[in-house]
């Protein structure tokens, strides 16, 4: 039987939008099924100009712990059907992915600009974890967060920082940085390849 990977894609506060469709298209392959659960339980995503409304909706109706629970509820079935199960999250989804890294049923997590990871620096990943951060965030010091995480010496954690701002991987965002996005996706693909070839 061909080895297959289930990649759980965790969306931003906006829901399953064009960016998430783009990620699904970019990373799906003969060996990787990208599955994007609708954590918001909304029929349509929020537009980017509704950021405040989207954030309030996420925090009130989902939040990080409930988001993590939704993923955990899917794991038993996925483990039966796939050789590898991993989580890739963007922004709030990246923070949920980071929280999931303590679950031994998950083989890897990838988090892209998870700002709120700074509230969960005590997490000890039990699986390989890759965290991608921008050079700058408006609300906190990225370098301080990276130093805090690296000081704990987690052997399974790899952190990379890229030129750009929050959203640099999103071609539909005003903060998209094509060069940084290409580098980021190259790193994600390499990381996935290393997991599945072990």
Report d(CA 161, CA 144) in Å as an integer.
12
Q: Tell me the whole-structure pTM to 2 decimals.
A: 0.97
Indicate if the pLDDT at residue 189 is higher than 60. Answer: yes
Provide the pLDDT for residue 8.
98
Q: Determine phi and psi for 173, rounding to 5 degrees.
A: -100, 150
Domain that holds residue 181: 5-196
How many domains is the chain partitioned into structurally?
Answer: 1
Indicate if the pLDDT at residue 2 is higher than 90. Answer: no
CATH number at residue 31: 3.40.50.1820
Classify the C-alpha dihedral 86-100-142-52 as positive or negative: positive
CA distances from 9 to 14, 47, 68, 178, 191 (A): 13, 19, 12, 21, 15
Indicate if the pLDDT at residue 115 is higher than 90. Answer: yes
Provide the pLDDT for residue 198.
60
- The mean pLDDT of 144-154, rounded to a whole number, is 96
Pairing of strands 157-162, 84-90: unpaired
Provide the pLDDT for residue 76.
87
Segment 73-90, tens digit of pLDDT: 999 899 999 999 999 999
Report d(CA 184, CA 111) in Å as an integer.
11
Indicate if the pLDDT at residue 98 is higher than 60. Answer: yes
């Amino acid at each position: 039987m061909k080895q297959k990977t289930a990649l759980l894609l965790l969306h931003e506060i906006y829901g399953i939008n064009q960016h998430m469709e783009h990620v699904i298209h970019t990373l799906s392959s003969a060996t990787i099924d990208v599955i994007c659960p609708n954590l918001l339980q909304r029929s349509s995503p929020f537009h980017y100009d509704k950021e405040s409304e989207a954030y309030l909706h996420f925090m009130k109706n989902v939040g990080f712990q409930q988001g993590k629970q939704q993923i955990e509820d899917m794991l038993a079935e996925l483990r039966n059907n796939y050789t590898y199960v991993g989580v890739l999250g963007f922004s709030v989804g990246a923070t949920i992915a980071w929280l999931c890294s303590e679950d031994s049923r998950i083989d890897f997590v990838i988090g892209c600009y998870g700002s709120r990871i700074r509230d969960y620096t005590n997490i000890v990943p039990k699986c390989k974890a890759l965290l991608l951060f921008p050079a700058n965030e408006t609300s906190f010091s990225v370098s301080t967060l990276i130093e805090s995480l690296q000081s704990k010496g987690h052997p399974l954690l790899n952190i990379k920082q890229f030129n750009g701002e929050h959203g640099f991987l999103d071609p539909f965002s005003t903060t998209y940085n094509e060069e940084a996005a290409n580098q980021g996706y190259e790193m994600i693909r390499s990381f996935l390849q290393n997991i599945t070839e072990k």
